[in-house]
Structure 1
């Protein structure tokens, strides 16, 4: 499957549609927006194209993220994420996203120092380890970390890491995640997070 090189943003009206930019501009240290100040696009589950399992957050004591679940646990579960568009805020270009856990809405998908995806508290536009760009074809998504510019890949232990250097050409299934919409942005049953 070939993916466009341009990063593409989720559409508000049809979360399956995309548009966006690849270039990033510097964010002044004093300019920051809480991720909840972005546009809530909706609630989604992501399913691995490699093992056909749903992406689950909060695995183990380090709250890791991996493709391990055989079903979505419900509208608010470890397998669902509220996706926020933070493009055009504080120097970020369109197509910049943050994924919030619906089971623990004060924590966000983040890149740890070992490049593993984990849930971490707090999310602002100046914390690049919480932010992702997206490539999308149809309902298949790829995510690229803004903190290290690496692509999110499913490793042999089914855990997700942002350490794939490229997603060009024929993209391996380990970098592909199908989007399943659980609810729309304006009508989702989101639990308000703390303001950190």
Structure 2
């Protein structure tokens, strides 16, 4: 940390974030090709319908492996993230109550937040849960002969529902992290690893105080 910037995300977190971003987007578009004939015009981008299916399966493997690699790279960081996103207090509730105004660009006073604010905590829990069920249901669909028929039948709607949930969360996350007024520094935190000290103090006061004291 220097006087102007503070380290927010290390290499393992950034690897997991961008690795999952790329694989999720490829999985989304190849999956939509397989899901509906209306998007067959996208199939040539991946070399045709059959190749789109192959790319989907390959990306599914990477989608599964990437978080495991990141976990091995920084297990302590994973535990800290886990504890933070599941530590939901009154300041997080206050943040969520003011979030609609924040979302539409109004200048509101934000209650002191930890490394992840109330919205980011909810996003982490919902997106992670959706992605876990996406992966599990996807593997059931892939190796359907190895599972009971009822499990396979449930896998298809679960996969579709989790895809919708994850896509909505990713779109909202992308907007808030990259395009929302005042939140652009979040992008640089995940791209370069550091954020401005004044931004950190304003948006994540509790975390910033802990970092500057250590």
Judge same fold: TM > 0.5, yes or no.
no
The TM-score normalised by the length of structure 2 is 0.29
- Looking at secondary structure, tell me which structure has more helix per residue: 2
> What's the TM-score, normalizing by structure 1?
0.31
Higher gyration radius (CA): 2
Higher strand share: 1
